């Protein structure tokens, strides 16, 4: 390999693929990045065998070649160089890096040792704006269960039906559903579950890019791909395993009808729940008293060692009086992910789930189990 | 106690004294903040027995009183309240906090249980601008040794001589000296050593305040005090133990004459040392070759597993050729704390300390031992 590339461009690529490289020492090659020329492109790849990330950029290739070098050292070093032309040259499994007065050599490992990131067998493909997809994932990304007992709810469900994609996450105490409309009319309904970590990497990589991203579903695999503008050449590819198993029939637990309903200012309610949290005890319990007649909700908490707290918030209410308790953390997780300035809080009785929704939009839904007495 | 205070004001006070409260569980009262009225002032105090911090603000006192409450919960709660009038009322060792719709009670512990922060017996007093003192401390604050074997170099030396204060820190591998001139003509020369942690709290508390701070030295104690503007009333007091023992005769290790001298652009040199650091091995060794004839320094590093690095930087040089090695971390610590755009690097031979100074100012000096071969 003998190529020239601007420092800024190489830094961008290393930044994008970096989160695919492994931190584990069990298989040292996974700590490396693969550099490879291909026609007039430089391709960088990193994988930890669960996910694989690839990045391409057009460069002038004087000599083809491929090599792997330790990601952390290579990336730290490139980051410290000035934004000038860098010459990358492979000699005897070493990468020679020349940039102005800097002359560096990094010992590499042959590209043959690097695992192949498997090619996907395309079954379905849809296209969504990458920033919009990332923002939507962020609304539900912290919800999945950490438990390994039920792997299917440790991930995020992507469920495609006609022109709608539903993103769903639950840990069995609460559930969040985000709806996205997209352009492509797909043939059949289909769904898959991606690991929470894959979702995080999708957000990290694609959030700032604001381009169309293709979501390609194949056998036990998912590929997120962005192409170089106005070409058919790939720019970034993120490949991941999907989680096997069936996602629970979550729609049946979303209450269809509720007896009490109140519309509240989101930030005001959020602040009063946060303040209540100071006075909760081990189960994080806060108590809500919905008073439709008074058009208000009283928020109470009590910790026998520390003290107690009470406040009230006015809202537009209808339905029955209700006294119900929640884990304040679960309420905050829902409220923090709603974008509207007002929210609708619905509930039926002290043993049935509450529902929190934005006012004026029907694209987000948060269902939360109460603390039963 | 029955007083009214604005949320913002109380939040300010809690923020200032907070770092004095203890995180340890061995003596639970130290986790508490003491609230006390005094004439028409509210006084907050916190201490972990090593340092004590007090804060005062004028308030309308309807009823005198004093109580301690858990700092973390009280402070978190006050932070979450709106910036409105808060009523603080003590009833049966409980603190009642009322603010608009918020009604809260925190269980307290009697003020009698709270340790007394000792009053200082003033021996010497000087006055310095608090922001200037904080900025000066920041230039040397990370240097002291962490070792408990030599407690005197685990702190920072304050040495007053005529109209000059010298702040000194060392860990026996490197030494930093910062000179400050101040107004007051003190009677005698004197010096003391304050713990590194006290210096950190001085910076945290006084950096943004930009007022005159009195430094009062007494028997084994030091007091940093700021008064309420245009009054003789205290605003903030930080009391700390000083470290007993004699500071080493550090001036004898500062080289008086050096054989090689080069003036370098600080940021350029810093970046090239950082880049070299990627290729160092366990002892963090980088090698500098001073070539006064070529008006340059060559910077080299080498890690047999990873690879090697070489670059050069031009400068205005005089004296002898010199090949000398340093721990790159020690160089970075010195360079990062120099404010000028150019630095003077002086050295004599591969076994004698190097000296780094700002160009155009003589208020800072950094002495660093080489790695001997």
pLDDT per position as a tens digit, B113-139: 999 998 999 988 889 999 999 999 999
Q: Are A269 and A82 in contact (CB under 8 A)?
A: no
Angle at A34 between CA A30 and CA A36, to 5 degrees: 165
- What percentage of chain B exceeds 70 in pLDDT? 99
Question: Is the CA virtual torsion A225, A226, A228, A231 positive or negative?
Answer: positive
CATH architecture, range A254-368: Roll (3.10)
Distance CA A325, CA A331 (A): 11
Q: What integer pLDDT is reported at residue B147 of this predicted model?
A: 79
Instruction: Examine the pLDDT at B112 and tell me if it is beyond 60.
Output: yes
Which of B101, B271, B307 lies closest to A311 in CB terms?
Answer: B101
Q: How confident is the model at residue B219 (pLDDT cuts 50, 70, 90)?
A: confident
Q: Which two tokens stand for residue A114?
A: 């690097």
Q: Is B210 on the interface with A (CB under 8 A)?
A: no
Residues B241 and B244: their CA atoms lie apart, in Å, by 9
Q: Are B169 and B140 in contact (CB under 8 A)?
A: yes
Q: What is the pLDDT of residues B280-332, one digit of tens each?
A: 998 999 999 999 999 999 999 999 999 999 999 999 999 999 999 999 999 99
Would the CB atoms of A279 and B104 count as touching at under 8 Å?
A: yes
Residue from A114, A116, A113, A108 nearest A88 by CA: A108
CA A197 to centroid of chain Cα atoms? 7
pLDDT interval class at B26 (50, 70, 90)? confident
- CATH 3.10.150.10 domain position(s) in chain B: 2-113, 124-251, 255-368
Residue A172 · residue A145 · CB < 8 Å: yes
- Any idea which of A344-348, B26-30, B268-272 has the lowest mean pLDDT? B26-30
Question: Which CATH superfamily groups domain B2-113?
Answer: DNA Polymerase III, subunit A, domain 2 (3.10.150.10)
DSSP string, A103-122: EEEEE-B-GGGSPPPPPP--
- CB-CB under 8 Å, B103 with A310: yes
**Right CATH for B255-368 from 3.40.50.10140, 3.10.150.10, 3.65.10.10, 3.40.50.300:** 3.10.150.10
Q: What is the model's pLDDT at position A147? A: 79
Contacts of A140 (CB under 8 A, 6+ apart): A156, A167, A168, A169, A176, A177, A178, A337
Tell me the HSE value of A285 on the side-chain side, using a 13 A CA sphere.
15
The H-assigned helical ranges of chain B are 7-17, 71-80, 130-138, 196-206, 266-277, 328-336
pLDDT band at B184 (very low <50, low <70, confident <90, very high): low
CATH homologous superfamily of A124-251: DNA Polymerase III, subunit A, domain 2 (3.10.150.10)
| Total Cβ atoms within 10 A of residue B25 | 8
Instruction: State the best of B306, B313, B315 to mutate against chain A, taking most chain A CBs within 10 Å.
Output: B306
pLDDT of residue A76: 97
Contacts of A300 in chain B (CB under 8 A): none
Q: Residue B188: is its pLDDT beyond 90?
A: no
**Residue among A81, A106, A307 minimizing CB distance to B307:** A106
Closest CA to B263 of B232, B228, B290, B245: B290
Average pLDDT, chain B: 94
Cβ distance A278 to B307 less than 8 Å, yes or no, reads: no
**Beta partners for B327?**
B285
* Interval B76-85: pLDDT, tens: 999 999 999 9
Q: Do A80 and B271 touch (CB under 8 A)?
A: yes
Of B73, B103, B310, which is closest to A306 when you measure between CB atoms? Answer: B73
Backbone angles phi, psi at A248, to 5 degrees: -60, 155
Q: Is B311 on the interface with A (CB under 8 A)?
A: yes
State residue A373's pLDDT score. Answer: 73
Q: Are the beta carbons of A306 and B279 separated by less than 8 Å?
A: no
A101 touches chain B (CB under 8 A): yes
Give the pLDDT score at A197: 95
- Calpha distance B141→B155 (Å, rounded): 9
Closest CA to A92 of A75, A78, A109: A109
Percent helix, strand and coil across chain A, each to the nearest 5: 20, 45, 35
Cβ neighbours for B354, distance < 8 A, ≥ 6 positions apart: B324, B326, B345, B346, B347, B367, B368, B370
DSSP lists the bridge partners of residue B343 as B264, B358
Q: What is the pLDDT of residue A284?
A: 97
Q: What is the pLDDT along chain A (373 residues), one digit of tens a residue?
A: 999 999 999 999 999 999 899 887 789 999 999 999 988 999 999 999 999 999 999 999 999 999 999 999 999 999 999 999 999 999 999 999 999 999 999 999 999 999 999 899 998 888 999 999 999 999 999 999 887 888 999 999 999 988 899 999 999 999 999 999 876 665 678 899 999 999 999 999 999 899 999 999 998 999 999 999 999 999 999 999 999 999 999 999 999 999 999 999 999 999 999 999 999 998 999 999 999 999 999 999 999 999 999 999 999 999 999 999 999 999 999 999 999 999 999 999 999 999 999 998 999 999 999 998 7
Beta pairing class for B124-129 and A296-303: unpaired
Delimiting residues of CATH 3.10.150.10 domain(s) in chain A? 2-113, 124-251, 254-368
For helices B328-336 and B266-277, the axis angle rounded to 10 degrees is 150
DSSP helix/strand/coil, A179: strand
Distance (Å, rounded) from C-alpha B334 to C-alpha B355?
10
Beta bridge partner(s), residue B342: B265
Whole-angstrom distance, CA of residue B141 vs CA of residue B167: 10
Specify the pLDDT at position B182. Answer: 78
Q: Which of A371, A174, A350, A368 is nearest to A286 (CA)?
A: A371
The DSSP code sequence of A272-306 is: HHHHHHTT--TT-EEEEEEETTTTEEEEEEEETTT
Question: Which ranges constitute the DSSP H helices of A121-250?
Answer: 130-138, 196-206
What's the pLDDT at A184?
64
How many alpha carbons fall within 13 Å on the CB side of residue A210?
1
């Amino acid at each position: 390999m003998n190529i020239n590339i601007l420092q800024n461009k190489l830094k961008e690529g290393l930044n994008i693929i970096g989160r695919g490289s492994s931190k584990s020492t069990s298989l040292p090659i996974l700590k490396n990045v693969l550099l490879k020329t291909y026609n007039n492109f430089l391709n960088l790849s990193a994988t930890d065998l669960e996910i694989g990330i690839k990045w391409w950029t057009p460069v002038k290739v004087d000599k083809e070649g491929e090599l792997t070098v330790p990601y952390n050292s290579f990336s730290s070093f490139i980051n410290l160089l000035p934004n000038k032309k860098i010459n990358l040259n492979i000699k005897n499994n070493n990468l020679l890096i020349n940039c102005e007065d800097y002359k560096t050599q990094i010992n590499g490992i042959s590209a043959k040792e690097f695992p192949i990131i498997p090619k996907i067998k395309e079954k379905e493909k849809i296209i969504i704006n990458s920033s919009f997809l990332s923002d939507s994932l962020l609304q539900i990304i912290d919800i999945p269960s950490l438990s390994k007992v039920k792997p299917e709810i440790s991930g995020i469900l992507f469920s495609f039906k006609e022109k709608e994609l539903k993103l769903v996450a639950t840990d069995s105490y609460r559930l969040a559903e985000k709806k996205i409309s997209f352009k492509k009319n797909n043939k059949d309904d289909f769904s898959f579950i991606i690991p929470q970590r894959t979702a995080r990497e999708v957000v990290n990589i694609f959030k700032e890019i604001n381009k169309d991203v293709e979501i390609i579903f194949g056998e036990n695999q998912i590929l997120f791909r962005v192409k170089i503008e106005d070409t058919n050449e790939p720019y970034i590819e993120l490949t991941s395993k999907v989680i096997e198993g069936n996602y629970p029939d979550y729609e049946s637990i979303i209450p269809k009808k509720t007896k009490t309903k109140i519309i509240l200012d989101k930030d005001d309610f959020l602040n009063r729940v946060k303040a209540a949290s100071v006075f909760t005890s081990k189960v994080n319990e806060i108590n809500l008293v919905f008073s439709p007649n008074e058009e208000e909700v009283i928020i109470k908490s009590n910790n026998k060692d520390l003290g107690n707290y009470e406040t009230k918030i006015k809202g537009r209410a209808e339905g029955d009086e209700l006294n119900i308790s929640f884990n304040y953390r679960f309420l905050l997780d829902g409220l923090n992910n709603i974008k509207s300035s007002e929210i609708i809080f619905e509930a039926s009785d002290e043993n049935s789930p509450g529902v929190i929704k934005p006012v004026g939009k029907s694209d987000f839904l948060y269902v939360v189990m109460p603390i039963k007495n």
